[in-house]
Amino acid sequence: MRRPVKYLLILLAALLLNPVRAFHARAQDDVDYKAYSLFVYNFIKYIEWPNLDAEFRIGVMGDSPVLKELQNLAKAKKAKGKPIVIKVISSPEEALGCHLVYISSSKSSTLKALLEKTKGKPVLLVGEREGLAKKGAGLSFITMDDDVLKFEFNKTAIESNQLKIPSALTNLGLPI
């Protein structure tokens, strides 16, 4: 084969394969926030709260695509027989009006203030970012090497906020 034709074929192959690689990289970066919302719903189903009000309030701290998924979930499901209300919160003080606070990755830095405000109160803090359970949140998400979504749990943090986490849930998660 003549050199110019050989180089032209190599260049053509590289150009054709490049979009495939770019598409594959994009697909790996996509996050299934519906899965996150379903995890949250199951946390609600299994964890026990004392004295629930007429509605179950979930606060979302920060900007996250999970907000839309939680809103869709709230339209279709109930939590412990009560309607689910989703509210966007922007300060740790607002967390006190919630049963569960979902902390988006962009607001992970607010964990310390959230922990101070909710200490001893029946509020479950759920971190979108890996490692927040180690820092005091009740639960945080972790993506395993095989891209499987799991959760870490901090039993001490959960129980110190007057909540009970059953073994049916702890058997599925990773203790810290």
pLDDT for residue 53? 85
Rounded-to-integer distance, Cα 167 and Cα 160, Å: 17
Indicate if 46 and 22 belong to the same structural domain. no
Q: What are phi and psi of 161, to 5 degrees?
A: -100, 30
Rounded-to-integer distance, Cα 117 and Cα 138, Å: 14
pLDDT for residue 123? 98
Indicate if 50 and 89 belong to the same structural domain. yes
Token code pair at residue 47: 């964890």
Indicate if 91 and 120 belong to the same structural domain. yes
pLDDT for residue 139? 98
pLDDT < 50 stretches in the chain: 4-29
Rounded-to-integer distance, Cα 85 and Cα 5, Å: 65
Domain region containing 96: 33-175
DSSP 79: E
Indicate if 40 and 65 belong to the same structural domain. yes
Indicate if 102 and 168 belong to the same structural domain. yes
pLDDT for residue 12? 32
Indicate if 41 and 14 belong to the same structural domain. no
pLDDT for residue 10? 39
